[in-house]
Amino acid sequence: MIEESGPTTLGQYSVKSGYYAIKCNAVTSQNPNKASSSHRIDKDLWNIVWNINCPKKIRTFLWRCCRNALPTAVGLYKRNCRASGICSICGQYDETIEHLLLSCDWTRGIWLSICGLQIDKQSISTFDDWLASVVKKLQGLSDAGQMILMKIAFTYWIIWKVRCEVVITHVELQPDRVVYRLQRAIGEYELAKFIAATRNVKNNEVGSDHHTWTKPDEGFLKLNSDGSFYASERSAGIGVVIRNHEGQVIDAYGKKVSACSALSVEALALRDAALLAVQRDYMKVCFEIDSSELLRNITCTRFEHLDWRISPIILDIQSLLHSFENQQVRKINRSANKAAY
């Protein structure tokens, strides 16, 4: 589970304050006079780009952007491969990498919708300076910062792909569909990583302290559920993975949800796991979660002792648990519950 803080305390640097700084101040360049031609890239920036949580093809694409190595209209014009360096989409400005990816008008809504960034055209000098200034503002933000960087990386990549489709095949540009495409691409990538992580869980020997994941008894299915909560972005995701008594993953499931706290995300994840098990007519099931507080609520028999913030979800779960021939809910160590991260 990942939870970031609420309101910013004076003098403290939080996810919220860092993200807010980016959104409100837009992004200011470190070196406004730098030419937009091939130039030396800061070594630290390389390292950060190569460690962004995104597919390798996108990291490679970012590397090419930093090197100013995309075949933009301006680049092609300089090599006498095009009659003009003007942007084919807006028809108003030179199509540099910076214009194409950051400041062409149609991309504004995309940056705002996906990354929450308002791009200030005046503050952009070169692509890598812009990226470096974002990275600087995200420093120390750990998980939330990494997520923003991932979204930024995907946004660059999809904007480039869409631009190529529009320029080459003359399809109509539909920014709202681009937003949807981006959301889907990011969601599919996160789900694929989640499934890969669950497959990597080693079926070690039984540990009485529940520090390692263990296979369910024969005839039982085990459902590990977990949630990720990003308070600063008001976004959350849940994941469920189902394994049989041989430890094989037979299904995995993940989706984004709306939630107000980390605990409610955990509860929603368990409810989805229980619903899934009911819908599939599983009869003998073991649910594993990594939240002690959620387990306390699940096993609570007095309504007045339930955490009121999640009581409707808990009542749903308790009802669903009656649907099985045999069921148990266990709390395990987070490292053993590699379901949703």
Binding site for Zn ion (CB under 5 A): 87, 89-90, 104
Indicate the residue among 68 and 96 with the shorter CB distance to Zn ion.
96
Q: How far is the CB of 188 from Zn ion (least distance, A)?
A: 28
Return the structure tokens found at 201: 């869980």
Q: How far is the CB of 34 from Zn ion (least distance, A)?
A: 21
Q: How far is the CB of 19 from Zn ion (least distance, A)?
A: 27
Indicate the residue among 158 and 329 with the shorter CB distance to Zn ion.
158
Separation CA 273–CA 271 (nearest Å): 5
Q: How far is the CB of 122 from Zn ion (least distance, A)?
A: 16
Mention every residue, 6+ apart, whose C-beta is less than 8 A from residue 129. 29, 30, 31, 34
Q: How far is the CB of 93 from Zn ion (least distance, A)?
A: 5
Indicate the residue among 90 and 191 with the shorter CB distance to Zn ion.
90
Q: How far is the CB of 29 from Zn ion (least distance, A)?
A: 19
Alpha-carbon distances, residue 62 vs 49, 67, 73, 149 (angstroms): 7, 9, 18, 12
Indicate the residue among 87 and 114 with the shorter CB distance to Zn ion.
87
Task: For residue 126, give the nearest of 62, 36, 46, 38 by alpha carbon.
Answer: 36
Indicate the residue among 166 and 275 with the shorter CB distance to Zn ion.
166
- 3-state SS assignment for residue 159: helix
Indicate the residue among 90 and 278 with the shorter CB distance to Zn ion.
90
Indicate the residue among 58 and 87 with the shorter CB distance to Zn ion.
87
Find out whether 49 and 131 touch, Cβ atoms under 8 Å: yes
Rg (CA), the chain: 24
Q: How far is the CB of 17 from Zn ion (least distance, A)?
A: 33
Indicate the residue among 59 and 108 with the shorter CB distance to Zn ion.
108
Mention every residue, 6+ apart, whose C-beta is less than 8 A from residue 284. 219, 220, 221, 324, 325, 326, 327
Task: For residue 338, give the nearest of 203, 142, 165, 155 by alpha carbon.
Answer: 203
Return the structure tokens found at 272: 């989805």
Q: How far is the CB of 65 from Zn ion (least distance, A)?
A: 16
Token pair 């949800």 in the structure block, residue:
257
Find out whether 87 and 80 touch, Cβ atoms under 8 Å: no
Beta bridge partners of 253: 240
